[in-house]
A and B are shown apart, each in its own frame.
Chain A
Amino acid sequence: NAGVMQNPRHLVRRRGQEARLRCSPMKGHSHVYWYRQLPEEGLKFMVYLQKENIIDESGMPKERFSAEFPKEGPSILRIQQVVRGDSAAYFCASSPIAADTQYFGPGTRLTVL
C-alpha cells in the first residue's frame, strides 16, 4: 500500500513564476492537509480539503496561494508569483476520515531564486 506521494520532490522557481505542488493521498484517504515548514521552524498548517471541498483554509496566506482537491486526481497547492520568502518544504498529509491520524508525504522542497 503506497504512502502519500508528493511531486515534484524539488522545485526551483524564479521570483514571479508559478509553483504547482501535487499530492496523492494514501489509497482510501479522502482528507488532505497541507503544511509548510520554514527553515528551523516547525510545521505550520495551511489548508484542509476533502474531495472537491475546502474545509479549513485558516492557515493559507490571503494572496497568491490556492489549493484544490478535485474529484479525480491529486490535490494541488498553487503559489502564484512566488517570492523568496516562499522557499520552504511543503508537506501533504492524508487521513481516511476526519479527526484521524494524519500520514505525511516526503514533501516538496521549493526554492525561489
Chain B
Amino acid sequence: QKEVEQDPGPLSVPEGAIVSLNCTYSNSAFQYFMWYRQYSRKGPELLMYTYSSGNKEDGRFTAQVDKSSKYISLFIRDSQPSDSATYLCAIRSNSGNEKLTFGTGTRLTIIP
C-alpha cells in the first residue's frame, strides 16, 4: 500500500464548476499537508499548507483535512481554464523528517 493515494484522473469539468480533489494517507505520523499545482513542464507551485484538521480557505481554494479518516481534500470554486494543471498532494511527518511524500497527482482540465 502506498503511503499516499491520489486518483490520477484525468478529471474534466466545465468552467465555473466546483472541483474536488482528494488524497488518502496511511501513516498517522503525517502532520503537515500541502497542495501543489504543477503546470505542464514546470515545477510544482505551493497552493495551500495546513497542519490541523478542519478547513483553510484562500480565495477560490479551500483545503480540508480530516485526520481521523486520514483524508485530505482541495476544493476549487468558480473554476477557470487557467486552473487546468496537475494537482499534487504532499504530506510530511512531524519535525525531524523533512521529506515530502507526494501523491501521484490528479490531472485537471477546465473546459471553457
Residues in A lying within 8 Å of B, measured CB to CB: 4, 31, 33, 35, 40-45, 48, 55-56, 58-59, 91, 95, 98-99, 101-107, 109
Would you give the shortest CB distance from B16 to chain A, in whole angstroms? Answer: 29
A107 and B38 CA atoms in complex are apart in Å by 11
A40 and B102 CA atoms in complex are apart in Å by 13
A35 and B36 CA atoms in complex are apart in Å by 14
Chain B residues with Cβ under 8 A from A91's Cβ?
43-44
Residue of B at shortest CB range from A9? B41
A8 and B6 CA atoms in complex are apart in Å by 31
Q: Please determine whether A99 and B98 come into contact, CB atoms closer than 8 angstroms.
A: yes
Number of chain B residues close to chain A: CB under 8 A: 25
Chain A residues with Cβ under 8 A from B44's Cβ?
43, 91, 104
Q: Please determine whether B43 and A33 come into contact, CB atoms closer than 8 angstroms.
A: no
Contact of B46 among A41, A99, A103 (CB under 8 A): A103
Q: Please determine whether A106 and B98 come into contact, CB atoms closer than 8 angstroms.
A: no
A42 and B89 CA atoms in complex are apart in Å by 9
Contact of B99 among A40, A56, A101, A105 (CB under 8 A): A56
A4 and B100 CA atoms in complex are apart in Å by 17
A102 and B8 CA atoms in complex are apart in Å by 23
Would you give the shortest CB distance from B72 to chain A, in whole angstroms? Answer: 15
Chain A residues with Cβ under 8 A from B49's Cβ?
101
- Judge if B1 is at the interface, Cβ distance under 8 Å: no
